[in-house]
Amino acid sequence: MAHIYKASEWQSPTGQYHVNDVEDLAGNAGMWWMPCRVLDMTPAEYVKWLTEEYEPDYISFNKILSFSWSAKNYRKAHSYLLYINRIARQKKFYV
């Protein structure tokens, strides 16, 4: 069912914090490129912006983009979560 993109945050067993829309992880909502569309950025622009603005402690691209923050940088993860959700709500960005 379609819904406005809404990311959630969670801490993995490794202690890293992750941010993604978990309502439909196997569908479009959980795809790594969805925030690019929310922000009207190319994937390259999005990765550059993410690394410069929110500085994830871990970032990898191997067919999918994966990024996370350590517990000491939780505030950066939370700031990213608040920003991406605010933009999605403003645009009424349905997935």
Give mean pLDDT in consecutive 10-residue pieces for the chain, a chain of 95 residues: 92 97 83 95 97 97 93 98 98 95
pLDDT of residue 2: 87
Q: For residue 29, count CB atoms less than 10 angstroms from its CB and return exposed for 0-12, middle for 13-18, buried for 19 or more.
A: buried
pLDDT at residue 27, rounded to an integer: 79
> How far apart are the C-alpha atoms of 49 and 62, rounded to whole Å?
19
Reported as a single tens digit per residue, the pLDDT across 48-66 is: 999 999 999 999 998 889 9
pLDDT of residue 40: 97
User: What pLDDT is recorded for position 88?
Assistant: 98
Tokens of 28: 């479009």
The pLDDT value recorded for residue 30 is 84
Determine the pLDDT at residue 1.
74
